[in-house]
Chains A and B, each alone.
Chain A
Amino acid sequence: MIPRRTDFTAAFLRSFAVQGSWNYRTMIGGGLGYALTPLLRRIHAGDPVALRQAIERHAGSFNAHPYLSPVAIGALARLEHEGRDAETCDRFRTALRGPLGALGDQAVWAGWRPFCALVTILAVLSGADARLAVMAFFIIYNAGHVGLRFWGFRMGWHAGLDVGGALNRSPLRALGGRLMPVNQALTGAVVVMLVARAPGFEPGAWEAGLVAVAALGAFILPSRGGVLAMGLLFAATAAWFF
Chain B
Amino acid sequence: MARPVKEINAGSMADIAFLLLIFFLMVTTMDIESGLQRRLPPMPDENQKQDDIQVNRRNILVVRLNDSDGLLAGGEMMNVTMLKDKAKEFLLNPANDVSLPEKEEKIIEGFGPFQVSKGVISLQNTRGTSYKAYIEVQNELVKAVNEIRDDFAMVNFGKKYIALDEDRQRIVRDAIPQNISEAEPKDTGRKR
Decide whether A and B assemble into one complex. Answer: no
Interface residues of B (CB under 8 A from A): none
A-side residues, CB < 8 A to B, are none
